[in-house]
Chain A
């Protein structure tokens, strides 16, 4: 059973978004994504200061058998990148919801409306 967390926004490409403040959010990958990938060995992320655009590729997560593109669920400027994942990419398997990938300043909060709720995402991955 794939683990889900209430209160997060989900994308169809298996990323989640957690709103922190007015227009700051964390982005990560879901439990479904990490279990499909298997043991993560590498995470390829952009740098703080870069921008991401909704529905565009911004990096990749690599396991032994697959390399999945990361698709931005929202647009914005990257404030912080989770450096821990460089040395310990397996953290994504351990807890994909605590171990976020990026902290971004949202360009347009309305974009959240196009994402799924946890129920909707649960249906989607059935």
Chain B
């Protein structure tokens, strides 16, 4: 007997009897003998719950939770306690995709509220129900730009997060679409190079802010240039920063995309996080993913329902713009609860506190004389420096003190040699920051 298998011997006997067979094996008689797997899988024997807890306690000892002072796309923001309490409700967690709206109003309503919140943060007219992560959302935004303009090439800012770049390149390569890079100048995307590279082949231009260096880029002139070229302007942004930064709409963007991990999700060793994608209504039929719409039922009651499904894979099949089926629905609930709890003021405060901590650390580090800023540009909660301290020395010292920080961007490639990353959120206390400074002050 096993706790997840309810059948007793009596149950099985009764069921076999109703089928007029003597063993379950007879149900597999259509399966060729040559493929029947007759042994046990070579996996460990079963564990009881208490043994599992012990096992994981041992595994936990082999992990080290560090104080996070680097981000590069994943940030250690505060998670309100209400999030775990609500997202663990079974009705949310174990339910299926809301194809039967009559018994899925819970899911559908939070998706509608999520869409509303992404809409207001990006300023664009419609958000979908979520994507896997920021990188794949951006890749799909590239597909969208190509589908809308019927062109085959995109321009990517060199200051995009390298993981995002790698995912975009993989997606575009296999769909046989093309790309080129807009060079960076002093840590930001170079408008002069953009001017040179815009032509009738370009479907879209993709930028990121804050960019890989943490810099808040200035896109003055971008939207006009791109529109004149009949291309789409795609802005990738950490959604949390849009609480204070100029919105993609205000930048003149046609598509906004990025990651929502900053909205109350743990760093989770990389996943699950949540990708968002928003655009103007005129492009909605080329937008991938599910969309929830407002309607009413036959008694006139307010109701929410998945809509415009005729764009999706289960109807359009090979003609669909994307193959996305499952998205990250429960993570959209994380984001919705977070934004409901924080509200407009809380979100601004989170960004402000992060800004304060980041700038305090920045000034202290520069003041040691061992760090300097190669870019000298505005930043929010993350910044990039060069240092005279040997890389190994810095990393070892920080690690010994339980700190994850000053991560070298060269993990992404040689072109980032010498650049190191720091990020500070509202969770980092003065004591933690002063401690970090004290540690590096003594190094060379």
Contact = CB atoms under 8 A, between A and B. Distances in A.
Interface string A29-66: 00000000000001010000000000000000011111
A39 B64 CA distance: 58
B163 interface: no
B315 to A, nearest CB: 6
B285 A63 contact: no
B344 interface: no
Interface residues of B, number: 8
Contacts of B307: 64
A100 B309 CA distance: 25
Contacts of A63: 310
A44 B310 contact: no
A65 B308 CA distance: 9
For the complex of A and B, list the 9 residue pairs with the smallest distance between their C-beta atoms, beginning with the closest.
A67-B310, A62-B310, A67-B316, A66-B310, A67-B315, A66-B315, A63-B310, A67-B311, A44-B285
A65 B309 CA distance: 7
Interface string B300-324: 0000000101110001100100000
Contacts of A44: 285
B315 A65 contact: yes
A63 B316 CA distance: 12
Nearest to A57: B319
A64 B309 contact: yes
Interface string B78-103: 00000000000000000000000000
Interface centre among B307, B311, B315 (most CB of A within 10 A): B315
12 contacts: A44-B285, A62-B310, A63-B310, A64-B309, A65-B309, A65-B310, A65-B315, A66-B310, A67-B310, A67-B311, A67-B316, A69-B319
Contacts, number: 19
A66 B311 CA distance: 9
A66 B308 CA distance: 10
B122 to A, nearest CB: 24
Interface string B311-342: 10001100100000000000000000000000
Contacts of A62: 285, 310
Nearest to B305: A64
B324 to A, nearest CB: 16
Most chain B beta-carbon contacts within 10 A, residue among A44, A63, A64, A69: A64
Contacts of B319: 67, 69
A111 B24 CA distance: 62
A108 to B, nearest CB: 26
A7 to B, nearest CB: 33
A28 B311 CA distance: 22
A63 B285 CA distance: 13
A116 to B, nearest CB: 26
B285 A64 contact: no
A11 B259 CA distance: 48
Given A65-B315, A67-B315, A67-B316, A42 B285 contact: yes
A119 B309 CA distance: 35
Contacts of B309: 64-65
Contacts of B316: 67
Max chain B Cβ within 10 angstroms of own Cβ: one of A62, A67, A69: A67
Contacts of A64: 307, 309-310
A94 B316 CA distance: 25
A64 B310 CA distance: 6
Given A44-B285, A65-B309, A67-B316, 16 more contacts: A42-B285, A62-B285, A62-B310, A63-B310, A64-B307, A64-B309, A64-B310, A65-B310, A65-B315, A66-B310, A66-B315, A67-B310, A67-B311, A67-B315, A67-B319, A69-B319
Interface string A66-79: 11010000000000
B173 to A, nearest CB: 27
A111 B315 CA distance: 32
A90 to B, nearest CB: 15
A42 B281 CA distance: 13
Interface string B139-159: 000000000000000000000
B283 to A, nearest CB: 12
B406 to A, nearest CB: 52
